[in-house]
Amino acid sequence: MTAKPLSILWFRQDLRLSDNPALNAAVAAGSVLPIYILDDVNAGNWAMGAASRTWLHHSLESLNRALDGRLRIFRGDAREVVSRLAASLPVESVFWNRCYEPWRIKRDAQIKSDLLDRGIDTRSFNASLLWEPWSVSKNDGTPYRVFTPFYQKGCLSLPTPRQPLAPPKHIDWHTSAVDGSLSIEDLELLPTASWHQSLCQHWQIGEAAAAQKFETFWQATLIDYKRGRDFPALDATSRLSPHLHFGEISPHQLWHQIDIASLQDRSDGPAHFLREIAWREFSYHLLYHFPELPEQNFNRKFDRFEWLDEPVGLQAWREGRTGFPIVDAGMRELWQTGYMHNRVRMIVASFLIKNMLVHWRIGENWFWDCLVDADLASNAASWQWCAGSGADAAPYFRIFNPVLQSEKFDPEGEYLLRYCPELSGLPARYRHKPWQASEELLQASNIKLGEDYPLPMLDLKTTRERALERFKALA
């Protein structure tokens, strides 16, 4: 019997079997060798942070189980790894799904060129975006810089995103040993501390878990999504962002299921969720066309902004000890769960950038290390949005008041108490601003400010005025 042609299937941010175009193409081509490469060499400063590495470890384990242990693991410069495999095995084709980070685009182009020079068929596919970044443009051919026209005039004027692909019914796997292959444990993705164990208590990881989470959201939560998504105490968001980032579920699967729901449901929850998916697309659109986005101000006049160096205050912000409960609850949620509610993300970012006058890149880097859904496009675009320096950004003079935000979106302090339980003895109105409680009430609640809970580290009014003065100096 003649052996089938050997194809390499390179898993990246597509750790699933359903709706995986590269997998389907590899199966159609012949025998399949599935690989994963941890490439910190080319990633450089954008190598995954600790929380993302924890998620990746468990996602790879889940994928490997689905592959019956056939996933081959490698570590190092992906260009060298792929070249070595192509030289040592009778590889006739290599397939992967595209990634859009600038460093990956550059590396993948080099790898594709190397393989084509060897006469190896090399193809890449779109598995993680509804619309390719280069396919959406204004009438003059330039990229969009504002979300609403990007979505309404750009995306929605294009053909409907493709339907999700079913997983292959039969796969002819390459079963021979492969030199240099490692175990998932050899990648040493898990932190040495027990932090990752605490992190994983809050998540189910892998393709099956992503599908179940989406089904629960679609059935029970989507109808009230537009209203409920702003209230951090409610279970009103999908929490699918890490699953999307690692490709345990695809946006095509979400889009077509939600689009059906929007046609059958008179509420505006489905339509609003589709817009949120499109915001993710917009972030990738920006990153593709403006690859300096994670490191440089999109609005270059902010290059002249006078930031402060506040190491003590920065540490208090990171640890959730600012004295402002909604900020502290958010930062503690981040550390304990690897996640933070989106409304709270905006609040803590505004506090760092505008009240503390700390550069947005400092916050971006902390989120990069601590978020399980750390995504270069979304993280950079969101921090620049909050800073006022980004595309379609919130005006710099829009400064979130953490007390008013807390009172409006967590009126009873339910979210606050999950992560700041030391405030539980206070009546709801004082949970948002414990420094306004009387000494008698604080004593009755067994709270000594400055010991049991921090005093406010700054004055909101004074720091707001300071930020506005520095912004005016840029004009």
Do 21 and 157 fall into the same domain? no
| Rounded average pLDDT over 386-412 | 91
Rounded to an integer, the average pLDDT of 341-370 is 98
Residue 176 belongs to some domain of the structure: no
Do both 281 and 333 map to the same domain?
Answer: no
Q: Which of 80, 92, 342, 422 is catalytic?
A: 342
For the stretch 222-275, pLDDT in tens is 989 999 999 999 999 999 999 999 999 999 999 999 876 565 555 688 889 999
Q: What would the pLDDT profile of 101-123 be if each residue is shown by its tens digit?
A: 999 999 999 999 999 999 999 99
pLDDT of residue 264: 56
Dig out the tokens for 241 from the structure.
Answer: 């962002």
Domain end: 289, 313, 336, which one? 289
Q: Is residue 335 annotated as part of the catalytic site, yes or no? A: no
Q: What is the mean pLDDT of residues 399-408?
A: 97
- Determine whether 385 is an active site residue: no
Same domain, 248 and 305: no
Is residue 199 situated within a structural domain? no
For the domain that residue 51 is a member of, what is the CATH number? 3.40.50.620
Q: Which of 247, 255, 250, 258 is nearest to 219 (CA)?
A: 258
| Residues 265 and 366 both lie in one domain | no
Catalytic residue list contains 446: no
Query: Are residues 312 and 421 located together in one domain of the fold?
Result: yes
3-state helix, strand, coil in the chain (%, to 5): 55, 5, 40
Q: Choose, from 80, 132, 195, 307, the residue flagged as catalytic.
A: 307
CATH of residue 268: 1.25.40.80
Domain that holds residue 418: 300-472
Residue 201 falls within a domain, yes or no?
no
Active-site hit among 92, 132, 195, 279:
279
Task: Kindly give the residue spans of alpha helices, DSSP state H, lying in 235-268.
Answer: 241-245, 251-264
pLDDT at 414 over 90: yes
Q: Is residue 213 part of a domain?
A: yes
CATH number at residue 381: 1.10.579.10
pTM: 0.96
Within-domain flag for 51: yes
Q: Do the domain assignments include residue 349?
A: yes
**CB neighbour class for 306 (10 Å; exposed up to 12, middle 13-18, buried from 19):** exposed
255 is catalytic: no
Q: Is residue 310 part of a domain?
A: yes
Number of structural domains found in the chain:
3
The whole-number pLDDT of residue 1 equals: 42
Distance of alpha carbon 243 from alpha carbon 227, whole angstroms: 23
First-residue to last-residue Cα distance in the chain: 75
Task: Tell me, yes or no, whether 316 and 258 share the same domain.
Answer: no
**Average pLDDT over the chain, rounded to an integer:** 95
Same domain, 274 and 369: no
Last residue of a domain, one of 127, 150, 182: 127
Domain end call among 127, 150, 181 = 127
Quick one: how far is CA 393 from the chain centroid?
19
Distance CA 28, CA 9 (A): 12
What does R_g of the chain's alpha carbons equal in angstroms?
24
Annotated catalytic, 218? no
Whether 362 and 251 map to the same domain: the answer is no
Closest listed residue to residue 15, CA positions, set 79, 96, 80? 96
Own/partner pairs, 329-333, CB within 8 angstroms, 24+ separation: 329/232, 329/415, 329/416, 329/418, 329/419, 329/420, 330/232, 330/419, 332/419, 332/420, 333/418, 333/419
Q: Is 342 a catalytic residue?
A: yes
CA distances from residue 274 to 94, 256, 271, 279, 360 in whole angstroms, order as listed: 33, 10, 5, 9, 28
Say whether both 396 and 466 belong to one domain.
Answer: yes
The answer to whether residue 359 sits within a structural domain is: yes
The 10s digit of each residue's pLDDT in 216-237 is 999 999 989 999 999 999 999 9
> Which of the residues 10, 317, 383, 385 is marked catalytic?
383
pLDDT digits (tens, 9 = 90+) for 361-375: 999 999 999 999 999
At 116-168, the pLDDT tens digits run: 999 999 999 999 999 999 999 999 999 999 999 999 999 999 999 999 999 99
